[in-house]
């Protein structure tokens, strides 16, 4: 195993990776916001009075959780434009696939958090004549969100990792740019090592943070 | 004949001393009840005897053989010595600690097959024998979750008995039970006492201790504060903390 | 309004079926491997020996924190450069997903093991069981049962993640779908059908999971 690693071509082309990093970040931020926001809406939809609303939310969650996100992205990329008169580029397809998928997962996290609050909290709040909406906003959600911060952070990390799938439809992000460099310099080993390292260095501190949060939460609940 | 001998046992947790220099000599057939306020170190003393906790200093002799050797931080014990010791001292816990994924008979047979290397059918036969002794042979194939607290504790006793220990250690065996279920467990312990078993019993059932034990130890102030026969310690305590403890315990009795 | 027509796609359903078989094969391989790797990693991580604990920690954290597609590319395009192996898409995928799911399984198992009450360890050692006997006979059976839902969920994630192998031309369901879409000029029907196949397969799997879970619960040993 005396292979001569050569990282020079990668460092010389750092701008190529930088462009990719910007693309990754842009995709990540948009998908994070839509994914979490829509996730909360869907979670509340699952507890709605109106049956169709409950049913629709449930179907949304099941469909997007029980199919692979890559199939979703490709479906939006190749299939949706045939149905709807819209131009769908790689960026839009990736946003749709990743956000909706993440919304389904976040919805389950929110739902779990809401359900984990003891019935006594509902009863106590209702007993002082708060409306259901008030109970949710003032009593349940603040407690639930605190409990699910680690799970949501974890979801954020997953969204970041998922952004690499956009390379499959040739959206310009880190992995896609890496492929480009590797195809020019024939150095896939170095390129993919660097990319893996970049992701690790960026995400690992956040992962450690979720561990710390989980520990703190476990202690305060005990 | 001495079954168990503790000499100069000390234990502290991160700077807070639980007890220091405890000596204890247990003869065959002794039934020793250990009393004391909560936090006085009763559990820790029992757990030091079968080395669930390692004493910081002192020596333990069981059945005439010394356990381990003095090391830099307390006793040094090989895995083999540890196992040998634990086979000679059976332990019954306050929270039962039954194995929830095994049936009642499975719980009792487990040590026989994995430690004593008995064949599974033999282990089961023996397990059912032990269960009959505590009146639970009919529950052999139930899972622990299906039992009442009193039944669980009787299974735990059978599990300890199956290993043929020379001495039995009970750590508040009835404290986790509904008052109505205490009697059935005490009944089993009483029966073991009548058979002449050697036992150390931590309990808050003072009446039972008086009735069953031949010696009482009262723990306080980091050691054995007062000891003697049940009449001496429970009827005519000489030292103030013992007197106070017993008075508190009798407050709501009639 | 678009005229749906599944005819041309269904006429070639054999292509998709072959792909589905490959997907299942890869999933099963990585699942079996992942469980073994996961158990070993979990035990190493809980070991009192630093020399075992540390490398296990690194493998677990790296494979959980980097994107699976990057891992796959690394094994497929990168690894053959330093190790002389005939790297096939299947081998690369099996390696990647075995280690990756092993890392996730390890964390699940570890959490399960440490969640077992200390009293269980104490009761086992009080009847003279050695640590490895206690682990095998008392702790692991309870940890595995307690963690079964998480393990099931992870296995389903694994099946979904195997779609990534389409990018290195392993003929899984998604890859075959792509081929078929180009051949029939019916991407809408093909991708909808494929999504449906995954949906049904995964829903069945998770249904099976809940069924098993309930059976465990009924066997009476779960309640405290
Ligand atoms: N594992 C431990 N770590 C730290 N302190 C402990 C531990 N076990 C017991 N202690 C402390 O030792 C003292 C004696 O505890 P214990 O033996 O359980 O008392 P008892 O059984 O008489 O109620 C208590 O102050 C308790 O807080
Ligand atoms: Mg105690």
ipTM of the complex: 0.91
Whether B9 is covered by a domain: the verdict is yes
CATH class for the region spanning C21-170 = mainly alpha
Distance CA C59, CA C63 (A): 6
User: Which residue from C203, C113, C102 is spatially nearest to C158, judged by alpha carbons?
Assistant: C102
Name the C residues in 161-180 with CB < 8 Å from any B CB: none
Q: Where are the domains of chain C?
A: 21-170
CB contact under 8 A, C65 and A199: yes
Residue A171: per-residue pLDDT:
92
CB contact under 8 A, A66 and C192: no
Token pair, residue B35, equals 């009393």
What mean pLDDT do residues C14-31 have?
A: 94
Whether B133 is covered by a domain: the verdict is no
Distance CA A60, CA A62 (A): 6
Burial (0-12, 13-18, 19+ Cβ within 10 Å), A26? middle
Compare CB distances from A188 to C62, C77, C163 and report the shortest one's residue: C77
**A122 lies within 8 A of chain C by CB:** no
Averaged confidence pLDDT in chain C: 91
Residue A219: per-residue pLDDT:
78
Owner of token pair 């010389």: A12
> Could you report the per-residue pLDDT of A99-117, keeping only the tens digit for each?
999 999 999 999 999 999 8
**B243 lies within 8 A of chain C by CB:** no
Q: Residue B74: CB partners within 8 Å, gap ≥ 6?
A: B54, B55, B56, B57
* Positions in chain B whose pLDDT score sits under 50: none
For chain A, list the domains and their CATH numbers. Answer: 13-221 (1.10.3720.10)
Whether B46 is covered by a domain: the verdict is yes
Residue C223: per-residue pLDDT:
44
Residue B73: per-residue pLDDT:
65
| CATH number for the domain that contains residue B35 | 3.40.50.300
Q: What is the pTM of this model?
A: 0.86
**Backbone torsions φ then ψ of B72, nearest 5 degrees:** -70, -40
**Angle between helix C118-126 and B149-162 (nearest 10):** 40
Closest CA to ligand 1's atom 2? B13
CB contact under 8 A, C128 and B86: yes
* Backbone conformation region of residue B222, classed left if phi is above 0, alpha if psi is from -120 to 50, else beta: left
Asked if residue C87 has pLDDT above 70, the reply is yes
**C120 lies within 8 A of chain B by CB:** yes
What mean pLDDT do residues C116-120 have?
A: 94
Domain that holds residue B199: 4-96+149-249
Distance CA A78, CA C182 (A): 10
* Positions in chain A whose pLDDT score sits under 70: 1, 221-222
Residue A1: per-residue pLDDT:
57
Q: HEC profile for A146-166?
A: HHHHHHHHHHHHHHHHHHHHH
CB of B36 sitting under 6 A from ligand 1: yes
Residue B15: per-residue pLDDT:
87
Distance CA A48, CA A54 (A): 6
Whether B140 is covered by a domain: the verdict is no
Residue C56: per-residue pLDDT:
96
**Angle between helix C148-161 and C89-115 (nearest 10):** 160
CB of B15 sitting under 6 A from ligand 1: no
Asked if residue C200 has pLDDT above 90, the reply is yes
Whether B137 is covered by a domain: the verdict is no
pLDDT bin (cut points 50, 70, 90) of residue C224 is very low
Length of chain C: 224
């Amino acid at each position: 195993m005396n292979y001569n690693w050569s990282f020079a071509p990668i460092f010389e082309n750092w701008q190529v990776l930088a462009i990719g990093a910007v693309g990754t970040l842009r995709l990540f931020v948009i998908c994070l916001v839509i994914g979490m926001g829509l996730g909360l809406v869907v979670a509340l939809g699952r507890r709605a009075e109106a049956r169709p609303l409950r049913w629709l939310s449930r179907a949304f969650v099941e469909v997007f959780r029980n199919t692979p996100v890559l199939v979703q992205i490709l479906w939006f990329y190749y299939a949706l434009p045939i149905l709807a008169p819209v131009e769908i580029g790689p960026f839009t397809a990736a946003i749709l696939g990743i956000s909706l998928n993440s919304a389904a997962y976040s919805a389950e996290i929110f739902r779990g958090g809401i359900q984990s609050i003891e019935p006594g909290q509902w009863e106590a709040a209702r007993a002082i004549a708060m409306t259901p909406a008030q109970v949710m906003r003032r009593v349940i959600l603040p407690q639930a969100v605190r409990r699910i911060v680690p799970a949501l952070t974890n979801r954020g990390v997953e969204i970041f990792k998922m952004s690499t799938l956009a390379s499959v439809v040739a959206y310009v992000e880190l992995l896609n740019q890496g492929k480009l460099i590797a195809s020019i310099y024939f150095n896939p080993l170095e390129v993919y090592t660097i990319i893996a390292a970049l992701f690790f260095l960026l995400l690992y501190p956040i992962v450690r943070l979720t561990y710390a949060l989980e520990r703190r939460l476990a202690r305060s609940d005990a | 004949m001495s079954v168990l001998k503790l000499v100069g046992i000390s234990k502290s947790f991160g700077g807070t001393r639980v007890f220091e220099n405890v000596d204890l000599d247990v003869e065959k057939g002794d039934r020793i009840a250990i009393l004391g306020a909560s936090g006085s170190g009763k559990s820790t003393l029992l757990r030091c005897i079968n080395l669930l906790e390692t004493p910081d200093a002192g020596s333990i002799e069981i059945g005439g053989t010394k356990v381990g050797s003095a090391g830099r931080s307390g006793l040094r014990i090989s895995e083999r010595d540890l196992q040998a010791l634990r086979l000679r001292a059976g332990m019954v816990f306050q929270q039962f600690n039954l194995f929830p994924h095994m049936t009642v008979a499975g719980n009792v047979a487990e040590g026989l097959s994995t430690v004593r290397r008995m064949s599974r059918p033999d282990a089961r036969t023996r397990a059912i024998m032990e269960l009959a002794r505590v009146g639970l042979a009919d529950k052999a194939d139930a899972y622990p979750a299906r039992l009442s607290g009193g039944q669980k504790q009787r299974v735990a006793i059978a599990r300890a008995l199956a290993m043929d220990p020379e001495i039995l250690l009970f750590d508040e065996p009835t404290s986790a039970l509904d008052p109505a279920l205490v009697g059935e467990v005490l009944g089993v312990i009483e029966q073991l006492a009548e058979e002449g078993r050697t036992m150390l019993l931590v309990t808050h059932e003072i009446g039972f201790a008086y009735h069953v034990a031949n010696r009482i130890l009262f723990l306080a102030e980091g050691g054995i504060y007062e000891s003697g026969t049940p009449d001496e310690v429970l009827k005519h305590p000489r030292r103030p903390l013992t007197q106070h403890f017993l008075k508190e315990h009798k407050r709501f009795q009639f | 309004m678009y005229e749906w027509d599944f005819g041309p796609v269904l006429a070639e359903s054999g292509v998709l079926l072959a792909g589905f078989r490959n997907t299942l094969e890869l999933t099963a391989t990585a699942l079996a491997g992942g469980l073994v790797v996961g158990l070993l990693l979990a035990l190493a991580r809980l070991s009192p020996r630093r020399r075992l604990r540390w490398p296990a920690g690194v493998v677990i954290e790296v494979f959980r924190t980097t994107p699976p597609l990057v891992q796959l590319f690394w094994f497929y395009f990168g690894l053959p450069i330093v190790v002389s192996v005939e790297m096939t898409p299947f081998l690369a995928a099996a390696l990647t997903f075995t280690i990756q799911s092993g890392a996730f399984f390890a964390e699940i198992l570890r959490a399960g093991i440490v969640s077992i009450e200390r009293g269980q360890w104490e009761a086992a050692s009080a009847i003279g069981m050695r640590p490895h006997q206690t682990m095998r006979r008392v702790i692991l059976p309870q940890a595995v049962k307690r963690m079964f839902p998480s393990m099931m969920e992870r296995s389903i994630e694994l099946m979904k993640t195997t779609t990534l192998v389409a990018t290195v031309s392993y003929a899984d369901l998604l890859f075959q779908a792509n081929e078929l879409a180009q051949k029939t000029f019916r991407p809408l029907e093909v991708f909808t059908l494929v999504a449906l196949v995954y949906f049904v397969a995964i829903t069945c799997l998770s249904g099976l999971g809940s069924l098993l879970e309930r059976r465990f619960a009924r066997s009476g040993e779960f309640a405290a």
